[in-house]
């Protein structure tokens, strides 16, 4: 039996292509939620093809994403209660050849790998082996990846570099790309109604938003130096910090926009003239689409697009300014891979006897 454990929207989007291929082959699976992202995650699940969750490991009483240490503590307490009161019956209901699949670098990734060990099941890590080389950037994601890498039995690595990072560990499978590729290519192109030229900005990471002066400098530069209007996508966590930093005199270029369904957001990416983001997932999608993109981070664990259509800012505002003035030179043709990373994963799960 295959069990997906996830709790954020990004995890759901990148695991959905694997689940769709299991559905096509009529291979059963379960998915268990931690609701690290609450309302937002529940809203996108039907559109990704997921039904009702088989297990709800943890939830937050507010229905909002985890924002502070108190939220995290309560979330962990709920997870511990699930382990104490439900894990035994859940384990008995599943066959011995069950594998738990986690994705990426979130607290849920670590929790899911731990649950697998607690239940004495194997675990697999999708997007394994990514390393920035600096445990502080991004924090805590770099530590999360390393912890999951220690606990997982099977490692689905998206690149030559990530495969090399895993060294001589057994059960490393090179998927020749990230499942984010399939998340884009599986869906029909979604065209926006906006025929005018525009940019896309999505900044949401804690390590950036926790630095008010950097947020202020970033928003001032975007507002004053962008030659085009742009959509500023926000969520409950980022909206306050970003909108408060927008200079009142330069708001005419900025359209603040709530997060939209993934299909629709990819439509914005396809049609954007440039992208500014601190999201690793969007870096991967933009690299596939060839859209000029600035990754506003000190370091990135992903090599997709770097040196081609993707620029790393290292939080240098002058680099952001230069990108906004010259983004057109980074445009590249769309780069469709020869194989599907999700197909590779499903074939491997079948070969290992987890998928019947």
SS (HEC) of the chain:
CEEEEECCHHHHHHHHHHHHHHHHCCCCEEEEECCCCCHHHHHHHHHHCCCCCCEECCCCCCCCCCCCHHHHHHHHHHHHHHHHHHHHHHHHHCCCCCEEEEECCCHHHHHHHHHHHHCCCEEEEECCCCCCCCCCCCCCHHHHHHHHHHHCCEEEECCHHHHHHCCCCCCEEECCCCHHHHHHHCCCCCCCCCCCCCEEEECCCHHHHCCHHHHHHHHHHHHHHCCCCEEEEECCCCHHHHHHCCCHHHHHHEEEEECCCHHHHHHHHHHCCEEEECCHHHHHHHHHHCCCEEECCCCCCCCCCECCCEEECCCCHHHHHHHHHHHHHHCCCCCCCCCCHHHHHHHHHHHCCCCC
Domain boundaries, the chain: 2-177+339-351, 199-330
Q: What is the pLDDT of residue 64?
A: 58
Q: What is the pLDDT of residue 263?
A: 85
Q: What is the pLDDT of residue 192?
A: 59
Is pTM beyond 0.85? Reply is: no
Q: How far apart are the first and last CA of the chain?
A: 8
Q: What is the pLDDT of residues 150-208, one digit of tens each?
A: 999 999 999 999 999 998 899 999 999 999 999 999 877 666 566 689 999 999 888 89
Question: How many residues make up the chain in this entry?
Answer: 356
Confirm whether 2-177+339-351 and 199-330 share one CATH topology: yes
Q: What is the pLDDT of residue 311?
A: 96
Give CA–CA dist 211/206, Å, rounded.
9
CATH architecture of 2-177+339-351: 3-Layer(aba) Sandwich (3.40)
Q: Name the class of domain 199-330.
A: alpha beta
pLDDT under 70 in the chain at which residues?
Answer: 37-39, 60-69, 189-195, 248-249
Nearest to 124 by CA among 348, 356, 302, 300: 348
């Amino acid at each position: 039996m295959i069990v997906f454990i996830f709790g954020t929207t990004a995890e759901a989007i990148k695991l959905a292509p694997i689940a769709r291929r299991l559905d096509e082959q009529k291979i059963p699976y379960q998915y268990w939620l931690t609701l690290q992202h609450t309302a937002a995650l529940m809203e996108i699940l039907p559109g990704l093809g997921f039904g009702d969750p088989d297990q709800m490991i943890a939830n937050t009483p507010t229905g909002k994403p985890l924002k502070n240490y108190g939220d995290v503590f309560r979330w962990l307490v709920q997870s511990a209660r699930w382990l104490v009161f439900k894990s035994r019956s859940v384990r008995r209901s599943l066959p011995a050849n069950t594998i738990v699949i986690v994705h990426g670098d979130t607290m849920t990734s670590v929790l899911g790998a731990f649950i697998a060990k607690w239940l004495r099941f194997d675990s697999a890590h999708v997007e394994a082996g990514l390393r920035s080389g600096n445990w502080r950037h991004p924090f805590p994601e770099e530590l999360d990846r390393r912890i999951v890498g220690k606990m997982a039995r099977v490692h689905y690595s998206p690149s030559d570099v990530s495969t090399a990072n895993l060294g001589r560990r057994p059960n490393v499978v090179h998927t020749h790309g990230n499942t984010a590729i399939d998340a884009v290519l599986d869906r029909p192109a979604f065209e926006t109604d906006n025929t005018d030229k525009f940019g896309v900005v999505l900044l949401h990471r804690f390590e950036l938003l926790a630095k008010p002066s950097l947020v202020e400098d970033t928003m001032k530069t975007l507002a004053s130096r962008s030659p085009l209007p742009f959509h500023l996508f926000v969520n409950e966590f980022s909206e306050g910090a970003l909108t408060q930093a927008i200079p009142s005199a330069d708001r005419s270029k900025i359209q603040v926009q709530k997060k939209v369904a993934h299909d629709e957001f990819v439509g914005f990416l396809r049609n954007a003239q440039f992208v500014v983001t601190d999201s690793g997932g969007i870096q991967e999608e933009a690299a596939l689409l060839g859209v000029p993109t600035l990754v506003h981070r000190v370091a990135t664990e992903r090599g997709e697009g770097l040196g081609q259509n993707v620029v790393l800012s290292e939080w240098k505002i002058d680099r952001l300014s230069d990108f906004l003035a010259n983004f057109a030179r980074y445009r590249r043709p769309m780069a469709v891979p020869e194989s599907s990373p999700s197909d590779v994963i499903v074939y491997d799960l079948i070969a290992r006897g987890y998928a019947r």
